[in-house]
Structure 1
Amino acid sequence: MISSDFPRSAVTHPTGGDRGRVPGRRVRALGGSLLAAGLLAATTVGPAGHPTIAAAQGRSVVGLPDEMTAQWRNPSVREDDAASDIGIRLESPLENLRLGTKQIVSVTIVNRSNEVVEDLSLRLQRANAVADTAAARLALTDDQSAYGYTGPFTDVPTPLRPGASVTIGLPLDTTPDSPAGLGIGEPGVYPVMINLNGRPGEGIIRYLTSERFLLAVDDPDAAPHPSVAPGITMLWPLTAPTGLLAGETGEAPLSAPLLLENDDLAAQLQDGGRLDQLLDTYVDATSGESGSALREATCLAVDPQLIDVVDRMRDGYTVAAERPSPVSGTRRLRDSWRADSIPPDAEQPGAGAAAADEWLNRLRAAAGQGCTVALPWAGTDINAVTRTGNQWLVREALSRGTSVVARVLDTEPEQNLVIPLSGYVTESTAAWLPLADTTAAEDTVNPESAWENLQRNELPTVRRSTDTAALEDPAMPDPYPLEPIPAPAAGVRVLVTDNSVWNAPTSGRFAGLGAGVTGVTYQGSLAATLAATGPEPLTVGYSNPETRHDPNLDSDRARLTTGTTALRLAVEAARGEAVPTGDGAPVPEAPEPVLVVPPVAPTAPADSAELLATVARLLESGQARPLSLHEATTPDADTEAALARSTESADAERGESRFGAPFPDPSVPSDGEVLAATQQSNYMNDLTQLMVNDPGIALTRYEFMRPLMLDLLRGLTVIGRRNAEEYAAATAHANRIFTLNREMLERLQSSVALLPPGYVYTRVSQSSPLLIVARNGLPLPVDGRISYHGPPGSVVHVPDQLWIPAKGSIMTQMTADLPTEPDKVTLMLRLSGSQGSVVSDPVEITVQTQGPLIGLLGRLIIGALVIALIIRLIQTKIVRRIRGARGTVGQR
């Protein structure tokens, strides 16, 4: 059963009410069907072709324009709460209460307004029990009148001055038919609301705001009903920003020195840091015999960039503000005089080498005891990466992580499993997914081997352009592969939400997304609810816009309570019924497993630990059974065959929407970011193709360029983009990565160049050669070609091949057939790759094209005649003076 967020037909709006009565329902500004119609009518095409909701009334998000705010937060959901400057914070844990018990709920009220608030009072209200997580998410956005079961009001000491807070206890009674209770007569999951009334300033007593959460109520005395526990699998994400300074290039035989922008990662790895606590929590919960079930039901989902950087940190690293150029020449003496002018704090040694070593050793031990799977590199958005149309960038995103996890953690991670952090894949992305087959031959799986294999077979590896360097190409790429990618030998699986495969062929929880590519669905509504937990709650692109509101309207504790309760609700809803046979013996019906995908974000360790503890309790109680990630994501032979037949018969026209983002996703990278990644990755391919591997040099051309490619994946990361308050900062950081990466590429570009002569060539004849110097600052030889552009009738005879040694230069000569009119001809010369890609800036050469009689030879002859005439005149004058002097002497 699909229990995702889907539009409903009736939507209400939260209202306030006078003390002591339940206010009447008033209709939301946009009813359910009207809202759906309004969203469709008021959409425009946004990044990645997704529709964007038009601007609407509502509180803006700092750093975002109003039209983007409306995509993050439906302005008609809990609008009174959003407009209030009075906040409620739940302080008590409320998971899994027992029927017939009483509890005091601790609540803190905070006055963030500029007015004194008086006559404050609180009460608990509840709505009807919900059957699944999708219904629960909708109920939490309902009008207050839907919470018709109320408890008594509790007065709050007032006045509450601006900036002040007060904590009080509210009675929560789950006793059936209790006058002070909420009318809870049977176990279930109930949406609960804490209603706050008060009189701000000189106004009247009215509704101010609410705090909402899901409450699970159990009856331990109830007889167990015959059912079959579903299997459960939970990912345990380990991700963190690494602070890697962009613009790195490869080195060999040793790796390049590690440069970080800051030392924040070291703080997370040290004792008590976030990553330290996350790993400790997992190890403690899954160790020994008591943790065996939880260990089987969980899998470490590791960011390969994180463990790669941590591995390098162990050998020491530097915190620096900028990266030196790998192609700069030897520093001149006069430059060294200025060395003391560099700020002393521009570079400093990192302090986390020991912590990195200790943490990585513990992680390696944990990975060896259970399941491990690689997340996309740096949490990159797979859909954005495939939009670049660059095969090698896609290969790095899909296959690099698995090999890095295997190398660093010395374990065999789950193979051929893609986990898009966006929660969905587009049609064009699915066409690239066969490249995620990590079980194929080495020359196919390894990006560098695949590159060199294509080079040996003289197949094109980069797009061809003789007019514009890729770094300046303004055209958006075609997101589909240039040639269809063959189906993988072993099937590729991709985790997607159940509401993102609306028109794809399905068999149970599996969906056919292409030849050899299977979508494994998980509950989008549960994942969206879990994503809203933690100090940086997320708004995911697959969530129903009707449920999108500011998650910070509810406190961290309330959202965590909702998350753990939703997890229990999902397991309960998935339980299979025991169907009796003719002889009365029950035959279990196999239930669908529950895949728990927590938010891949810098979550608080305590919140993550509570989710893990909830899974452990479900296993201990027998409400769920452990299921390995491999078993949960691998279809059986019959399902595979059925999907293969359905996929072939449903071979859709290119561009037809069968799956993808079910709703507008405000967190996707923009066209500008995708274009920057496209330009830079294509130019990296051009430079890689320009270089030549040398047996005498340990570094290969692909190794030299790979770190720059991985930088682009960091720039397109999902992490940080799905929180409205952090979105602007995340995009600014991505822009910094693209900027630093481009600056490095420009340095590399300028290091391989034709050097202009700096003067005008004057030729004696048409056969006179033109001389030009070619320079190469790269650490590998360059195999280039000279291309030219000149006026009509110009023909330049360039060398067939221009081999420039590593970090060296050569002088080459050309001959040219040039028109004699006009007197001067300007030629534009550029250095290109062997496949025609432009890699250098143009160089102008001006050639004097005069004929031989008035050319250089003519000038020399005329000059010689003039000089001879002058000499003759001087000689004549001297002879005359001598003769005149002799005549004078004779007369004396």
Structure 2
Amino acid sequence: MIPSDFPRSTTAHLTDGDRGANRVRRVRALGGALLAAGFLAATTVGGAGHPTIASAQERSVVSLPDSSAAQWRNPSIREDDAASDIEIRLESPLENLRLGMKQIVSVTIENHSEQVVDDLSLRLQRSALVDDPATARLALTDDQSAYGYTGPFTDLPTPLNPGDSVTVGLPLDTTPGSPDGLGIGAPGVYPVMINLNGRPGEGIIRYLTSERFLLTVGEPDATPHPSAAPGVTMLWPLTAPTGLVAGETGEAPLAAPLLLENDDLATQLREGGRLDQLLDTYIDATSGDSGSALREATCLAIDPQLIDVVNRMRDGYTVTAERPSPVSGTPRLRDSWRAESSTPSAEQPGVGAAAAADWLSRLRTAAGQGCTVALPWAGTDINAVTRTGNQWLVREALSRGSSVIADVLDTEPERNLVIPLSGYVTESSAAWLPLADTTGAENTVDPESAWEALQRNGLPTVRQPADTAALEDPEMPDPYPLEPLPVPSTGIRVLVTDNSVWNAPTKGRFAGLGPGVTGVTYQGSLAATLAATGPEPLTVGYSNPETRHDPTLDSARARLTTGNTALRLAVDAARRTATSPVAGDGDPPPEAPEPVIVIPPAAPAAPTDSAELLHTVARLLESGQARPLSLHEATTPDPATESVLARSADPVERERGTSRFGAPFPDPSVPSDREILAATQQSNYMNDLTQLMVNDPGIALTRYEFMRPLMLDLLRGLTVIGRRNAEEYATATARANRIFTLNRKMLERLQSSVALLPPGYVYTRVSQSSPLLIVARNGLPLPVDGRISYQGPPGSVVHVPDQLWIPAKGSIMTQMTADLPTEPDQVTLVLRLSGSQGSVVSDPVEITVQTQGPLIGLLGRLIIGLLVVALVARLIQTKVVRRIRGARRTTGTR
């Protein structure tokens, strides 16, 4: 059966294939029309032929236009619940419920309206049994009329005043045939609704709102051990915003001082903090013999930026809002006195060094006993990064993490596995994925080594107009590589949702996304359901728009109950879809069920919610309903599958714009074109500036090390984390804008530190051979190998030096000769400092030259004549004086 989360508008023309789809469509005609209108109005076609949201940074979630708002939330889903000021919160954990059991469900009702609500009554209702997470997601968004099996009403004896709340117990009876039950006659998973009715103010008794969740009803006896238990592997994400002050540059031999905007990370690391609890939960659950199965079935998915910053925190750090310039001149003593006396320091020492050391030590121990894998740096959006067309930014996003984990945690991570937090990769992104290879030769996989190797052969860069620095280039780049990248010796695997590879060649759970690149699919419906858990539930771009609604309509407990149930349902569905054993000679052996890959939300994950999901996996393993499967085994195709996918890979570049895989639905959380352009401009200028510098054996710092932190800032600006929540999207884009702004300011400082200094006056030349003098300054910590380029009026020829070598933190004076037209009398030349390949790296400098006009020529000849006369007179005077002195000496002798 095709999951209902597959796209409708692809060349495959897939259908829902579930029982709830037609019912959903009937009640959502208006919502679907609005959603389609929103999609057409707010998207543009990207390089891969899939929709990408334009100008997302300019939107405010609070006042989104209808077309954009519909991409986050289908307005036709649960309209009454969304408009209600009455809230229902499920309080009871619903675990181990079996057929024939009775349980009291604790529910809290809270009145957020401004009027008294009277005659309150509520009851449990259920819908039909569901077979898989996709069907379940649709059922939870159905109209209340679909929940036809009802329990008895429970009345509240007193009214509920504004601001008040009350907690009541509802009877839940799963006994088959019970008059007070929900008509549950068989074990399985059921969508359940708590229906609340009441009389608001002076009105009539009517439906007010509902709370919904998935309920698992097990067998009356102990759960049997299935004969075909699917393998399960689960990622355990460790991510958090670091608060690193943007604009950092590299230093050596000592590391640059760590500057953080706040001390929030220390709060998460210390005892009882979010990261502390997440790590403790994982260690406790996977320790010892009892945790061996769960340890095999889980893998620490770590943001390498997080452990890099935590590692640096151990040596102390500073909390501040500003970063000093690495190229500013030495201030005069009196200026520093004045600055200190007039501007109070906003810096303060960080307090999390000890907590960072302790947390990192425990993480190192846990990582050494199990599996680790690197997430993209700072949780960056891989599809957004590849749209910049900058291969060094892509390299840092995909390959830096593995080396950081190996160095800091002293363990070998899973290599050549890409985990896009968006859940999908575009066609153009897949073309860049060979750069994720970390198993080849050092000069091909290490970004700095690769840079230097290509630099020796002429670095390929994205070129901008010859008279414009990359920081000002207004053109969006081609998102594909300039040339096809070499196929990595060890294939690249990328985790993507099953509904994002609709037209790619597939075999089982594997899909061919390009030469050497294999997609490993996991259940998008399950992942989207898990993403809706936690304090900030997410709307993921691969989710079916027919299921997108405000997730906070249901309480955190209800959403977590749904997530746990969906996980069990996915495991059961995988077991049921496996081929049953068939007796008899010559019959094919039964196929093993497809594994279930569990991808919880990366951030912000609540420790308690994550712990319950982890314990659900543990219980599935303990009961025999699932078996442990390592991440490596779950993501590595066998040789036969590799052969099939290799044969299906088209060696000829496909026509751009074809739609084979990518975003299956409009994704409202993607970075805007404006953000992509900012990252493109800044990363390309970083390339040009890095190329301008020259490594010096006498200086420990290298040019790539100096610029790398600025590239990593751009990855933070394009992060997925924080963007997929409708209420937090505006905050996330504002944070990204601050990173880009601070990063650009630093680049402008670096740009201004390498400059040609104008003379400040008009050059007056006596002859055409008179030289023009100019000073070149370099404030960078490495020497600069530059070229002088110029522009002037027709007929101007400036003879510039072939090479301009400027020492680190120094300056030189150079001279040029120029053949300039004599008309007009003054000529203005525009000079720039460029790299060896012609890329502009400095601001333009104007020099005005007084040329050799008629008046200047006459004055020149007159001056020369006067000088000759003066020289002759001086010579005559000298000879006369010598003769007189000689005559006096002769007379005196006599």
Smaller-chain TM-score bracket: over 0.9
Amino acid at match of 1:703: E
Q: Distance in 2 between matches of 1:368 and 1:562?
A: 33
Q: Distance in 2 between matches of 1:521 and 1:179?
A: 45
Aligned-pair CA distance for 1:209: 0.6
SS in 1 for 2:27: coil
| Residues 1:583 and 1:551: Cα distance change in structure 2 (over 3 Å) | same
Q: Distance in 1 between matches of 2:225 and 2:845?
A: 83
Per-residue CA shift, 1:15-43, capped at 9, x if unaligned? Answer: xxxxxxxxx99952517986887677666
1:728 corresponds in structure 2 to: 730
SS in 1 for 2:3: coil
Per-residue CA shift, 1:715-761, capped at 9, x if unaligned? Answer: 00000000001000000000000000000000000000000000000
In terms of mean alpha carbon deviation, does 343-352 or 210-219 score higher? Answer: 343-352
Do the aligned residues in 2 keep the contact of 1:107 with 1:167 (CA within 8 Å)? yes
2:69 corresponds in structure 1 to: 69
Unaligned stretches of 5+ in structure 1?
15-23, 869-892
2:29 corresponds in structure 1 to: 30
Aligned-pair CA distance for 1:64: 3.8
Aligned-pair CA distance for 1:603: 1.1
Q: Distance in 2 between matches of 1:430 and 1:10?
A: 29
Per-residue CA shift, 1:485-538, capped at 9, x if unaligned? Answer: 011111000000000000000001000000000000000000000000000000
1:205 corresponds in structure 2 to: 205
RMSD: 2.6
Find out whether 1:752 has 2:787 as its counterpart: no
Aligned-pair CA distance for 1:198: 0.8
Q: Distance in 1 between matches of 2:777 and 2:672?
A: 37
Q: Distance in 2 between matches of 1:493 and 1:25?
A: 36
Do the aligned residues in 2 keep the contact of 1:385 with 1:716 (CA within 8 Å)? yes
State, as a whole percentage, how many aligned pairs show the same letter.
Answer: 84
2:365 corresponds in structure 1 to: 365
Do the aligned residues in 1 keep the contact of 2:211 with 2:553 (CA within 8 Å)? yes
Do the aligned residues in 2 keep the contact of 1:784 with 1:802 (CA within 8 Å)? yes
Q: Distance in 1 between matches of 2:225 and 2:708?
A: 58
Do the aligned residues in 1 keep the contact of 2:787 with 2:835 (CA within 8 Å)? yes
Do the aligned residues in 1 keep the contact of 2:783 with 2:806 (CA within 8 Å)? yes
1:218 corresponds in structure 2 to: 218
SS in 1 for 2:334: helix
| Residues 1:339 and 1:558: Cα distance change in structure 2 (over 3 Å) | same
| Residues 1:391 and 1:324: Cα distance change in structure 2 (over 3 Å) | same
Amino acid at match of 2:552: N
Q: Distance in 1 between matches of 2:232 and 2:195?
A: 36
Following superposition of structure 1 onto structure 2, how do residues 434-473 of structure 1 map, counting pairs within 5 Å?
434-461=434-461, 463=463, 465-473=465-473
Do the aligned residues in 2 keep the contact of 1:451 with 1:461 (CA within 8 Å)? no
Aligned-pair CA distance for 1:220: 3.5
1:640 corresponds in structure 2 to: 642
Find out whether 1:489 has 2:489 as its counterpart: yes
| Residues 1:427 and 1:808: Cα distance change in structure 2 (over 3 Å) | same
Following superposition of structure 1 onto structure 2, how do residues 492-531 of structure 1 map, counting pairs within 5 Å?
492-531=492-531
Do the aligned residues in 1 keep the contact of 2:771 with 2:816 (CA within 8 Å)? yes
1:805 corresponds in structure 2 to: 807
Do the aligned residues in 1 keep the contact of 2:497 with 2:524 (CA within 8 Å)? yes
Aligned-pair CA distance for 1:556: 0.1
Do the aligned residues in 1 keep the contact of 2:4 with 2:18 (CA within 8 Å)? no
Do the aligned residues in 1 keep the contact of 2:38 with 2:68 (CA within 8 Å)? no
| Residues 1:689 and 1:4: Cα distance change in structure 2 (over 3 Å) | farther
Amino acid at match of 1:800: D
Amino acid at match of 1:77: I
| Residues 1:773 and 1:605: Cα distance change in structure 2 (over 3 Å) | same
Following superposition of structure 1 onto structure 2, how do residues 284-323 of structure 1 map, counting pairs within 5 Å?
284-323=284-323
In terms of mean alpha carbon deviation, does 332-341 or 385-394 score higher? Answer: 332-341
2:165 corresponds in structure 1 to: 165
Aligned length: 854
| Residues 1:35 and 1:758: Cα distance change in structure 2 (over 3 Å) | closer
Following superposition of structure 1 onto structure 2, how do residues 321-340 of structure 1 map, counting pairs within 5 Å?
321-340=321-340
SS in 1 for 2:487: coil
Do the aligned residues in 2 keep the contact of 1:12 with 1:27 (CA within 8 Å)? no
Which one of 658, 669, 672 corresponds to residue 671 of structure 2?
Answer: 669
2:837 corresponds in structure 1 to: 835
| Residues 1:799 and 1:458: Cα distance change in structure 2 (over 3 Å) | same
1:247 corresponds in structure 2 to: 247
Per-residue CA shift, 1:640-670, capped at 9, x if unaligned? Answer: 0001111238963223110000000000000
Q: Distance in 2 between matches of 1:46 and 1:725?
A: 26
| Residues 1:651 and 1:679: Cα distance change in structure 2 (over 3 Å) | closer
Q: Distance in 1 between matches of 2:535 and 2:45?
A: 29
Unaligned stretches of 5+ in structure 2?
9-14, 871-894
Q: Distance in 1 between matches of 2:627 and 2:288?
A: 18
Do the aligned residues in 1 keep the contact of 2:50 with 2:426 (CA within 8 Å)? no
Find out whether 1:193 has 2:159 as its counterpart: no
1:105 corresponds in structure 2 to: 105
| Residues 1:4 and 1:613: Cα distance change in structure 2 (over 3 Å) | farther
Following superposition of structure 1 onto structure 2, how do residues 27-426 of structure 1 map, counting pairs within 5 Å?
28-30=27-29, 44-45=43-44, 51=51, 61-62=61-62, 64-221=64-221, 224=224, 227-341=227-341, 344=344, 346-426=346-426
1:582 corresponds in structure 2 to: 584
Find out whether 1:791 has 2:819 as its counterpart: no
Per-residue CA shift, 1:576-626, capped at 9, x if unaligned? Answer: 343121179995430000000000112110000000000000000000000
In terms of mean alpha carbon deviation, does 336-345 or 677-686 score higher? Answer: 336-345
Do the aligned residues in 2 keep the contact of 1:13 with 1:28 (CA within 8 Å)? no
Q: Distance in 1 between matches of 2:54 and 2:397?
A: 33
Q: Distance in 1 between matches of 2:152 and 2:418?
A: 51
Aligned-pair CA distance for 1:157: 3.5
Do the aligned residues in 2 keep the contact of 1:293 with 1:619 (CA within 8 Å)? yes
TM-score, normalised with respect to structure 1: 0.92
Do the aligned residues in 1 keep the contact of 2:435 with 2:445 (CA within 8 Å)? yes
| Residues 1:32 and 1:642: Cα distance change in structure 2 (over 3 Å) | farther
Q: Distance in 2 between matches of 1:759 and 1:608?
A: 69
Per-residue CA shift, 1:309-347, capped at 9, x if unaligned? Answer: 000000000001100000011111231122434655510
Aligned-pair CA distance for 1:554: 0.2
| Residues 1:861 and 1:37: Cα distance change in structure 2 (over 3 Å) | closer
Do the aligned residues in 1 keep the contact of 2:133 with 2:570 (CA within 8 Å)? yes
Aligned-pair CA distance for 1:47: 7.7
Which one of 704, 709, 712 corresponds to residue 710 of structure 1?
Answer: 712
Q: Distance in 2 between matches of 1:416 and 1:514?
A: 15
2:477 corresponds in structure 1 to: 477
1:611 corresponds in structure 2 to: 613
2:661 corresponds in structure 1 to: 659
Find out whether 1:568 has 2:568 as its counterpart: yes
Q: Distance in 2 between matches of 1:345 and 1:353?
A: 21
| Residues 1:120 and 1:584: Cα distance change in structure 2 (over 3 Å) | farther
1:873 corresponds in structure 2 to: none
Aligned-pair CA distance for 1:66: 3.6
Find out whether 1:775 has 2:774 as its counterpart: no
Amino acid at match of 1:660: G
Do the aligned residues in 1 keep the contact of 2:35 with 2:67 (CA within 8 Å)? no
Q: Distance in 1 between matches of 2:832 and 2:345?
A: 41
